[in-house]
Amino acid sequence: MEFGRIIISENAMNSENLQDIIHSNISVINLMREEKIDDDLIHNDALMSYYLDYYTSQYTQGNFSQFVFNSGWNSELNELIEEGLALICAEKHLELFKQQSKKVKLLSSVKLNKFLTGKLEGVNPTRDLLNNDAFFDLDENLAHLNANFLKTHPDLEVLSVDDMFAVIEEFIGHEIKRE
């Protein structure tokens, strides 16, 4: 049985900072994973938002090469990100992602493998080839688009922290130890 809801805390929903909405979703997913709930049972759009935030933070911290390196260039993840960018209407970011993905696909498997198993720092022509600062110039704010997507989602439930735990505990069938 799938957990058919996206849960956000009341505090996050009422926050001035849209990133709090994304972080609330991430916290719920991390908690569910800690409780050994399989990703297949977590709401698809909640996961998609989670991975869009991962992509955004990787790109922001270390450009596209860091995303490729740290994600291991996972085709399933890349599909989710592509779908997610389309779903939140981040057309410019979607175009850039597709453009950047082509660069990776044009690498030989040997070169890609060497990049993924090597070091990101130091002299690294593959890293330099994969980086693209255009991301920072796009006039689409991924965090805002992602948060607004969650805020307006038909399966969204805004709950107090205690109620969030209660709903998840009911789903998993046991109490969660809180720190």
Give per-residue burial for 34-63: e unless 16+ CB within 10 Å, then b. Answer: eeebeeeebbbbbbbbbbbbbbbbbbeebb
Q: DSSP letters of the chain?
A: --B--EEEEHHHHH-S-THHHHHHHHHHHHHHHHTT--GGGB-HHHHHHHHHHHHHHHHHHHHHHHHHHHHT--HHHHHHHHHHHHHTT-HHHHHHHHHHHHHHHTS-HHHHHHHHHS-SSSS-HHHHHH--THHHH-S--HHHHHHHHHHT-TTEEEE-HHHHHHHHHHHHTSPPPP-
Say what the pLDDT of residue 45 is. Answer: 95
Choose between 2 and 101: higher pLDDT. 101
Gap between the Cα atoms of 124 and 128, Å rounded: 6
Specify whether the CB–CB gap between 56 and 142 falls below 8 A: yes
Whether the predicted pLDDT of 32 surpasses 80? yes
Whether the predicted pLDDT of 2 surpasses 80? no
Gap between the Cα atoms of 92 and 62, Å rounded: 19
Say what the pLDDT of residue 151 is. Answer: 96
Say what the pLDDT of residue 1 is. Answer: 61
Say what the pLDDT of residue 3 is. Answer: 80
Rounded to the nearest 5 degrees, what angle is found at the Cα of 10, between the Cα atoms of 8 and 12?
65
Q: Is the pTM of this model over 0.85?
A: yes
Whether the predicted pLDDT of 107 surpasses 80? yes
Whether the predicted pLDDT of 166 surpasses 80? yes
The two structure tokens encoding residue 21 = 């909405």
For 119-162, what is each residue's pLDDT tens digit?
A: 999 999 999 999 999 999 999 999 999 999 999 999 999 999 99
For 35-89, what is each residue's pLDDT tens digit?
A: 999 999 999 999 999 999 999 999 999 999 999 999 999 999 999 999 999 999 9
Say what the pLDDT of residue 176 is. Answer: 86
Taking the CB of residue 108, how many other CB atoms lie within 10 A of it?
8
